[in-house]
Amino acid sequence: MKISELFNVSGKVAIVTGGSRGIGEMIAAGFLANGVKVYITARKEAALIEKANELSAKYACECIPVPCDLSTMEGMTNFVNFIESAEEHIDFLINNAGASWGEPYAEYSEKGWDKVMDLNVKSIFYLTQKLTPILKTKASIDNPSRVVNIGSIDGLNVPALESYAYGASKAAVHHLTRVQAKKLVGENILVNAIAPGPYESMMLGAAVNHDYSLIESRNPRKRIGSPEDIAGLAIFLCSRAGAYTVGAVIPSDGGLVGTAGHDLSQI
């Protein structure tokens, strides 16, 4: 029952997609700080390599960059082939890579819709499918592998912004999580989702001009999420402490969804 045992993830191997910035970087940093070898992905090679080198040096733990485009089947296949050539097993898969697209309702483009759905939903299903054999390699009842899908509170409420595909895609992620959990729990692979609210990121920052003060004032906790908030939840789900949590969608939003009386449409 000691915390050092309940939340111990050292010696594990993880993949964090979209791990070069934002929530993905926060989760990768949390793993690295606690002795997890981490593979991170992104499309922009130079920035990804720079971030991996920075994180490796900061936490004295191995962070390996794998540039790829996970929105395509070719990109996913190339990534899986690389992982299978480098590792005999994977313990944690964090499906974090995502995109958004905002346009007025009457002008909302098929290009934007497909970009969001391909990366946010399709890639989660197929990447998990392709990595299932390597996730099963060392998985057991006592030591299950984990898949954590990163959804959003925009998949739990109706967002104010005209990002129609994004909210729909994250609602799909939440339900896909439950479907995957049912399918994979018998293989000792536990699937859960985190639904983040406002965290510092390029995606949210662009929407608010990187001024989070209004968002903070409307949050029950009066702040946006910190790296410790999201990394701590991911570590819980991937540790012994979270080994009986299956098919859950857990908001990490300062109480926006769970606290009655807040107007979510204004967030």
What is the Cα–Cα distance from 40 to 101, expressed in whole angstroms? 23
What is the pTM (predicted TM-score) of this model?
0.95
Annotated catalytic, 166?
Answer: yes
Report pLDDT for 104. 96
pLDDT for residue 262 is more than 50:
no
Question: Average pLDDT for residues 246-255, to the nearest whole number?
Answer: 97
pLDDT tens, position by position, 61-82: 999 999 999 999 999 999 999 9
pLDDT tens, position by position, 173-220: 999 999 999 999 999 999 999 999 999 987 776 667 678 899 999 999
Report pLDDT for 266. 46
Lookup result for tokens 């789900």? 237
pLDDT tens, position by position, 125-179: 999 999 999 999 999 999 999 999 999 999 999 988 899 999 999 999 999 999 9
Taking every pair of C-alpha atoms in the chain, what is the biggest distance, in angstroms? 56
Burial 156-193 (b: 16+ CB within 10 A, else e): bbebeeebbbbbbbbbbbbebbbebbeebeeebbbbbb
Q: Which of 166, 199, 212, 244 is catalytic?
A: 166
Cβ proximity of 76 and 127 under 8 Å: yes
Report pLDDT for 55. 98
Report pLDDT for 267. 44
What is the Cα–Cα distance from 199 to 156, expressed in whole angstroms? 16
CATH class label, 3-256: alpha beta
How far, CA to CA in Å, does 204 sit from each of 77, 117, 194, 257? 30, 18, 17, 18
pLDDT tens, position by position, 90-134: 999 999 999 999 999 999 999 999 999 999 999 999 999 999 999
Report pLDDT for 165. 97
- Residue 264 burial (CB count, 10 A): 18
Q: What is the DSSP letter of 184?
A: H
